[in-house]
Amino acid sequence: MNYFQLFDLPEQFELDLAELGSRYLALQKRFHPDNFAAGSERDRLLAVQQTANINDAYHSLKHPLLRAEHMLALRGIKLSNEQRSFTDPEFLMQQMELREQLAELSAEPDPEQALFAIEQQLQQQRKALLKDLHQALAATTAEQDQLAAELVRKLKFFYKLQQELELIEQQLQD
């Protein structure tokens, strides 16, 4: 299923999230199962299924990483649940260093300041990767699609690190 077609949106990485939200609400209203309560069992089941599809599509298009994965899947490149190692030693070293910094946060004289510095670094790197991803997906060539897939893989590391950072932040506040 092409989520962009479902929401009648252009197939591009940059989306107007407000427009996506309003189209989501309109589709939810149109296919809400309550609208089919008096209909046949088949109609009710189809409405539930369509609502689930709308929810999945909205969730995927709303989040940049999932949106990029969906765009790549539409182009024949499936990344979901992929187990692939990196061949970029610089990136791997960077990830190891960031993980070490996270592990050593509690030993810092000012852990909150160190946490803030790591968070700023993650945001800066994630922003640069997202910019590169936008450009790669806009090109629509096989070579650029492979580059986009590699960028998505890298971004997954940064999103995972961000989640870990948020957990550490909660622990520090407790």
pLDDT tens-digit map of 40-60: 888 888 988 999 999 999 999
Can you tell me the distance from the alpha carbon of 83 to that of 125, in angstroms, rounded to the nearest whole number? 23
Query: Is 89-173 a CATH 1.20.1280 domain?
Result: yes
Instruction: Report yes or no: 27 and 7 within 8 Å, Cβ to Cβ.
Output: yes
Note the pLDDT tens digit of each residue in 97-145: 988 988 888 788 988 898 899 999 999 999 999 999 999 999 989 999 9
* Cα–Cα nearest to 86, from 31, 38, 32, 156: 156
Can you tell me the distance from the alpha carbon of 125 to that of 80, in angstroms, rounded to the nearest whole number? 22
Torsion of CA 112, 122, 94, 79, to 10 degrees: 140
Rounded to 5°, the CA angle 96-101-102 comes to: 95
Do you know the residue count of the chain?
174
**Sequence spans of domains, the chain:** 3-62, 89-173
Instruction: Report yes or no: 68 and 87 within 8 Å, Cβ to Cβ.
Output: no
pLDDT (0 to 100) of residue 37: 83
pTM of the model: 0.84
Note the pLDDT tens digit of each residue in 56-102: 999 999 999 999 999 999 999 988 666 666 678 888 898 889 889 88
Range 3-62: architecture per CATH:
Orthogonal Bundle (1.10)
